[in-house]
Structure 1
């Protein structure tokens, strides 16, 4: 408004663009000072005519007037300044334009352009207004606000952590007690019920469910203990029956062979009958030992350790099978160890019987029993050329009740393993499908 007023009310110059300098020479600084901004006036081509901040120009203009303006412009390089073509184009399209320029310390220099018009709304010049937008204070206040907000958030977070800790401690106190009780819970022991006062409904429901579980667990434990005792006796009965059947098989074969080959007039018949009698007596002693041991479950099978000739015991046990496919070889004529001869006989009977069953379908069955001595012990081997053991069955071969036969209870090899390990020995085997199996028993010296 002040610019338009000055243009319309000056009494010396007409309102034309060539007189913009003289018109605003005296008043432009005052107008700019009132509005606290820098002002520049250009002609319509964008060439500067006068500004509010170049005092030397205004003094020169006052002394020499507009006739010397060309000389003035040649003298002062600042008047090479022109409005950019981009701004001029925007003014033609919109009659006003703005641009900005960033300064240091968060300040922004804003420029506004607008046409200067006479009373008939004819364009006579261009007004440029420059003012500094200082955002440093706002940025400082924003930074201060963010810092305070950060401190508040940190304080609230710390309070929330402390509150959550105490709240969780209160809530989990009962859960911790329940957890400790659950960890101490065992099937075969007297478990204690949980008694918690002033607990939440959810915790009370958990405690009630746990106490109910403890009651049911005690009932299940009693049933399980009873079932285990019954199962133990059933397993014991199966093992005894299996052990009794083992010596019965060679006894039956011996009697049948004796019946077929008995000739009262045969030379040496008395010694032969005596050998048969000794074999039968030995097997009967084995069965008697099993029957005696059955009376005491904890001592089954009871060891009767004595110094025995292992070679003689094994020969006697092999003779009971009366099979031509069994060959026995020992690197020594006598090998003495402190063992129970009945248990050694059981071990050999089981291994030879298994080998015999594995070679049933072979045209030329071979069972090789061997004894050898090394620095640490005596090694008993039983090797056959039977069908072999599959890889899937190898890891289960010593498990109770595991068997690959259509008959039998799977207690033979587990019993053999228990006997051997009771003397501090070890048993192992190697097997190839279609080639056979070899069991290796080591009795320590």
Structure 2
């Protein structure tokens, strides 16, 4: 009988309350969540390799019986043991295996037990004439309990979840796919699926977990089977769709559409430049200016090496904001960097008559109070500072543009607090974040448009 995708995972045969608790720690609560837990590897258990056919450096799956096993402890490995295992396949071929830190296998493997071994064949360094497997993955087969999920097919291998091992997950997953209605609702449009030649969603889920025997093992292990490609495409499709919806919502936010093409703005930008810009700087400024003209808030990341001219781009964007009767802010992670930016900006912009203000916690009380008043009144046109910019007592007259240097040093909520300074006046600011040292979180920011 088919189950709803929203059914609790504990209702699946082979799961139960205890294992459901382990799955919950991985964020798996429903049948749909469980079906989304995909194999990381596949083994061909239709055609097992024979010991006599294996070659050095090849990876093989072998079905064999335990002949003997012994844990050996030495002075070097007193705390743990090296477990030496000897197995024999159906053709009589003997294969020695070695398990480092294998003391846990002592007493567990007994002569006559049937095993599946998967691993790389290597030349025994002490006996160059023979091959062995080092730390192969093993799975015990119980003849009485053995079912069609273990042999006679291409078998999915899952990462264990605590004490919920791969074999138990495989059996529970087999029960889960039996509960799946192949006519589950489609995510991809029919026209798109037909054009790409992808199977239905139900077929893709079933055949990713339990492929047909005719499926290419290489394609499966490189995640290139039609079923896997369908699920991969679906994930990217939903991701792109979520971003599109997010952008649509962002475009509904009101931002000040700056006048960029007016002669006074063009002249102001030329006047402050201390050098001739590079082709890359011209291109980047052109893209930023195009965003600043729109009534939707800009949200851009500018990445470049140290000394590549990111700061001058930020200052030019700030001048555009100032020439449109708004204020600009530049937030840096440290006081030293904030002071450096302040001195550079004052040197470049003061000759054009722009008022640059520094706001850091190191200011004297009287100086800080005076700076806060100039920011509140709008006299300060470009405000450069540290986290002090997001303090509650900082109020802008009309903040229209925000630049954040070394963005990875600030959290999402910290950046949002600065942007909220503009939102309090009924509009969202245009935002430019800069970095010379992108980190994985930087990629996340670009992926999620954050």
TM range (shorter): under 0.3
Q: Which has the higher helix share?
A: 1
Does 1 or 2 have the higher relative contact order (CA < 8 Å, sep 6+)?
2
Which has the larger Rg? 1
- What's the TM-score, normalizing by structure 1? 0.25
